[in-house]
Structure formats: C-alpha cells, structure tokens
C-alpha cells in the first residue's frame, strides 16, 4: 500500500469536471440506496425459488461478501466514506487484482439474492442497473484519486483492471485488518440475515 498525504487544496483534475464524473459524484454520496430495487422487487414480485437456485444464489452472496470483507480488511473504514477526501492509496489485497473489489462483490451479492428469490428475469436487469449506476461512480472515484495521488495512481491504474480480476504480476503486500473488516461489515451482514429471513417468510406465506 502506498500512503501519500493529499492536500485538501489539491486542484481537481479535468476528469472530475466531465459530465459522467459529475453524475458519479452525486451517485457516490447516495450509493447506500443503490441496492434498494434488489431488496424491494423480491417482495412485490412472486418468484419461483428452487433448492438448486437457492444454493447457487447463496454461493454468489457468500463469494460477494467474502470479497467485500477482504477489501475492507485491506482498505479499512475509508470504504464507507462519503466525501472526496482520501488519505491513502490502497494497492494490495484484492485491490491488486481489480480496482473495484467492493463494487464487484456487491454485484455478486445482489444478483445472488435475485437468484435465491427465484426471479431470473432480474439478472439481466441487475447487470444493466449496475452498469448504469457504477460506471459514473467509478469514473468519479478515478478522477478524485488521480487528483489526489497523481502519477502514483496512474501507474496503479495502468497495471490493474477496472473490473474483471487479473492476477497481479507482482503484489507488494500490505496490512490486512480482519477485525476492522468484521466490525465494519457487521451491520451489512445483519441486513443480509434479515433479508434472507424475510424472503423465507414471504415465500412460506404465498
């Protein structure tokens, strides 16, 4: 991990003023609401869950949350920030494989719940919604990181893919704080448990 002390007065790079990045900045501050459609739809649309789809969906959710935990263990509490201030550039752990491991994990989690609920038509919708929502968010984050860390971030961006993970040629190790990760993700895990319970009750009463 490379730690650089950014200055609050750092001038924004031109990429931050691009229309897509400006939309991404607005979505970034509200990204906690982005999964709402994937929570609401299973309760208003009657799916046809099967034992095989439930197991398959649960694997998706487990993989996605494992990726999130790994990412939070590497990046710490900054993964929940809402401002543009970043104190360190994290390039180890899952961030050596992909620049957006947490968002990649989110995709698996919410598509997993769609499969568990037996709403197969929601899968292509999920891909489309994630592309529309996270593309501008990622462009905004990339512009902020370029403003803050300059050439150091550009070198990282050049060697690490935006989405699909690729094994790094050489990964410089860094700290992983699993205690922080579990503490940070505790509320998320409780939400998943509550959602799974509500889905079970909803299916049982239909």
Task: Encode the chain (206 residues) as per-residue pLDDT tens digits.
Answer: 444 444 444 566 777 878 888 888 888 888 777 777 766 776 667 667 677 788 898 999 999 999 999 999 999 877 776 667 788 899 999 999 999 999 999 899 888 888 888 877 888 888 888 899 899 999 999 999 999 999 999 999 999 999 999 998 777 778 899 999 999 888 888 878 877 777 776 666 66
Q: Which structural domain, as residue segments, surrounds residue 70?
A: 14-205
The enclosing H or E element of 113 equals helix 101-116
| Structural domain contains residue 34 | yes
| Residues 177, 71: Cα–Cα separation, whole Å | 10
Domain assignment present for residue 130? The answer is yes
Q: What is the dihedral of CA 180, 181, 186, 192, to 10 degrees?
A: 170
Q: Is residue 6 part of a domain?
A: no
Q: Confirm whether 197 is domain-assigned.
A: yes
CATH number at residue 20: 1.20.120.1630
Residues pairing with 89 in the sheet? 2
Residue 5, domain member (yes or no): no
Domain count, the chain: 1
101 inside domain: yes
Cβ contact 13:150 at 8 Å:
no
Whole-number Cα distances in Å, 183 to 63, 83, 105, 115: 19, 21, 18, 28
Domain annotation covers residue 9: no
In a domain, residue 106? The reply is: yes
Crossing angle for the helix pair 19-28 and 122-149, to the nearest 10 degrees: 100
């Amino acid at each position: 991990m490379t730690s650089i002390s950014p200055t609050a007065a750092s001038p924004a790079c031109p990429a931050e003023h691009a229309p897509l990045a400006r939309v991404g900045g607005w979505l970034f501050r509200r990204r906690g609401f982005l999964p709402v459609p994937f929570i609401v739809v299973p309760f208003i649309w009657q799916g046809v869950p099967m034992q095989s789809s439930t197991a398959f969906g649960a694997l998706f959710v487990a993989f996605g949350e494992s990726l999130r935990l790994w990412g939070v263990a590497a990046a710490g509490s900054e993964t929940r920030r809402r401002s543009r201030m970043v104190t360190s550039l994290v390039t180890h752990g899952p961030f050596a494989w992909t620049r957006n491991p947490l968002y990649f994990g989110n995709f698996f989690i919410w598509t997993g719940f769609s499969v568990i609920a037996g709403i197969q038509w929601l899968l292509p919708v999920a891909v489309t919604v994630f592309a529309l929502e996270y593309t501008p968010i990622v462009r905004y984050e990339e512009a902020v990181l370029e403003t803050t860390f300059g050439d150091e971030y550009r070198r990282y961006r050049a060697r690490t893919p935006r989405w699909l993970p690729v094994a790094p040629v050489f990964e410089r190790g860094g700290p992983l704080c699993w205690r922080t990760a579990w503490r940070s993700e505790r509320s998320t895990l409780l939400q998943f448990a509550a959602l799974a319970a509500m889905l079970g009750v909803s299916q049982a009463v239909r």
